[in-house]
């Protein structure tokens, strides 16, 4: 019998921690201002890209809507200015 492993999440960040990341959705979260790399751990290992226009782009897998809202709550709680949230189509 072929069973898939269940997808688990990092309860603090909401990002995918396992294995079956194929079931998660990639997101880009744009924040006003530059964040340094130490914030990556706080956002569950999401990639941090600093744009020339002064924004920060967080990119990575998010397992479900509840996890996405958890990330957005972190942005809010840290007093960061959220600019946009966009799902990203995976590269084929």
For 23-88, CATH gives 3.30.70.980
pTM equals: 0.73
- Ordered by start, the domain boundaries in the chain are 23-88
The model's pLDDT over 1-39, given as tens digits with 9 standing for 90+, comes to 333 333 344 545 555 554 445 578 999 999 999 998 889
What pLDDT is recorded for position 1?
A: 37
The model's pLDDT over 36-66, given as tens digits with 9 standing for 90+, comes to 888 988 998 899 999 999 999 999 999 999 9
CA-based nearest residue to 29, from 85, 87, 82: 85
User: By CB neighbour count within 10 A (0-12 exposed, 13-18 middle, 19+ buried), where does 55 fall?
Assistant: middle
Instruction: Give the length of the chain.
Output: 92
Cα–Cα dist 82/89, whole Å: 21
Please name the residue ranges forming H helices in 1-92.
Answer: 39-42, 65-77
């Amino acid at each position: 019998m072929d069973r898939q492993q269940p997808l688990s999440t990092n309860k603090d960040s909401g990002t995918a921690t396992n294995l079956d990341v194929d079931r998660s959705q990639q997101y880009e979260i744009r924040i006003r201002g530059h964040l340094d790399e130490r914030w990556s751990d706080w956002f569950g290992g999401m990639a941090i890209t600093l744009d020339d226009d002064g924004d920060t782009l967080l990119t990575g897998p998010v397992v479900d809507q509840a996890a996405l809202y958890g990330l957005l709550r972190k942005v809010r709680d840290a007093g960061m200015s959220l600019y946009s949230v966009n799902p990203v189509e995976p590269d084929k």
